[in-house]
Amino acid sequence: MEEGRLKGVDVLRDPVLNKGTAFTEKERDALKIRGLLPPRVFTQEEQVERVLENFRRKTSDLEKYIFLVGLQERNQRLFYRALMDNIEEMMPIVYTPTVGEACAQYAHIFRIPQGMYVSVKNRGRIAEILRNWPKRDVGIIVVTDGQRILGLGDLGANGIGIPIGKLSLYTACAGIDPTRCLPVMLDVGTDNQELLNDPLYMGLPQRRLRGPEYETFVDEFMEAAQNVFPHVAIQFEDFGNENAFRLLDKYKNKFCVFNDDIQGTAAVALAGLFSAGRITGLPFTSQRVLFFGAGEAAIGIADLIVSAMVKQGLPEEEARGRCWFVDSKGLVVAMRKDLQEHKRPYAHEHPYLPDVETAINTLRPTALIGVSGQAQTFTEAVLAAMSRCNDRPVVFALSNPTSKAECTAEQAYSWSQGRAVFASGSPFGPVEYAGKTYHPGQANNVYIFPGVGLGVVACQAKRIVAEMFYAAAEALAEDVFESSLEKGRLFPPLERIRELSTLIGARVAAVAYDQGLAGTPRPADLLEHTRSQMYEPAY
């Protein structure tokens, strides 16, 4: 039987093998666990009912998070069954927004280690350390250095909660086998003084490593990961702007790597714009997009928008001219001398403007995208300005967690007199305005990265290219029904996420095969092949 050689209490202590009270009478004898469990045998469905009862009894989201992490550590299949069957209720707990609070408190809620901690003290022996991981067939690594956790900033080694949560969604939403998932924390120190002063902080109590030493350390990790896990795809997560663009550009043609903050966010935002166009009636190539914020998410979205407009017939220069940015110092324009390298391609020839409201009144954008991490910056005056420019203003407040959102769904609808086409990064509930109920869509990367990962794993892609994210965005937008658009939803219901991820996975794999990047022969039915790779948490 699948439990293999383990017997007795060892089976019950292995989260991959443990079924708890669902072990059958025959299994209890064969595995020598009779008497180690209560006598009644329960089905997995009955176990899920018990999980939900206990989950819903918790009085705070952080307590719910701790409960689910504990379940994952005890019984992996039951955890994923409960998560998959209750994805809308539980996803905000295992990931955004609750995971942000969990990371902030991680040293104080720590139970048992999950994933791997690779610190700068391990330089010169990273490959040796990665071989301590018990599995060799790793398909996905999510790695962070903890410098820019959601909108919370530098959380150092506490940031391990992000890769853990992200990988749980790879499994729940796209069926990546959890034994093929590896969360990695690159501990290079932290500049967060509160953490350095915390006696329970578990990371290196030193200032963050920078410069050539940091570069050499990350180089060693990338080479080691590729050598130890030959078919692995590596997702960069929550690196600071100073490193995110540079590392992606450095490694994208050498390793199977992508940055979800740049490319995953871009794809889900592009899909949202495609869907919004079906409501506004404005052709995609006629959009003029104003970004509030000019970090990795914003630039990633703009780059993919430009690629999509070029694909639809616009010259690249004209497409780039349809994307404008306001950063903390005002409109990004060519005359400014303080611009970081990643902003310069979008520094247009135009008089300087001091703020987002002035930029809206002057540039008259059709869409406003907030990726600033600055809460409540889409004020009533800003929404009024967008509403003067557009019959149906497109407003995306994408900053996470909820406390960082540029505006709430209620504000967007009420300040635009119900005309806004709205999406947010964190979830908001239905909004009643002027006798109509709006169901705001969540522009959540979970619509994109699990399916991309599934496609990459299914064909053993050697590289991850921009065309894969365009294909993912197209597939996502095509999956939005008219009934959802009528309610204000720009994205499909989350309960259909596995079906959607299968479709995205097949589209991504098709790009890999078309470009000669796949490591396996092309199957006759790519969709069915992709579906066959998906993990099911059944006993």
Residues with catalytic function = 95, 166
CA–CA gap between residue 486 and residue 62 (Å, rounded)? 34
Q: Are 118 and 182 in contact (CB under 8 A)?
A: no
Residue pair 201/164 in contact (Cβ under 8 Å)? The answer is no
Omega before 521 cis (within 30°)? Answer: no
The three-class DSSP label of residue 15 is coil
- Identity at 510, one-letter amino acid code: A
Burial class (CB in 10 A: 0-12, 13-18, 19+), 1: exposed
Q: By C-alpha distance, which of 283, 350, 355 is closest to 319?
A: 283
What are the strands, taking DSSP E only, across 231-292?
A: 233-236, 257-259, 289-292
Give the closest residue to 369 by CA, choosing from 321, 404, 325, 330: 325
Of 426, 492, 504, 467, the C-alpha closest to 176 is 504
Residue 502: exposure state from Cβ atoms within 10 A (0-12, 13-18, ≥19): buried
Say which residue the tokens 């919004």 belong to. Answer: 276
For residue 431, what are the β-bridge partners? 438
DSSP 351-412: ----SHHHHHHHH--SEEEE-S--TT-S-HHHHHHHHHH-SS-EEEE--SSGGG-SS-HHHH
Rounded Cα distance between 462 and 230, Å, is 10
Helices (H), 178-210: 193-196
C-alpha radius of gyration, the chain, whole number: 23
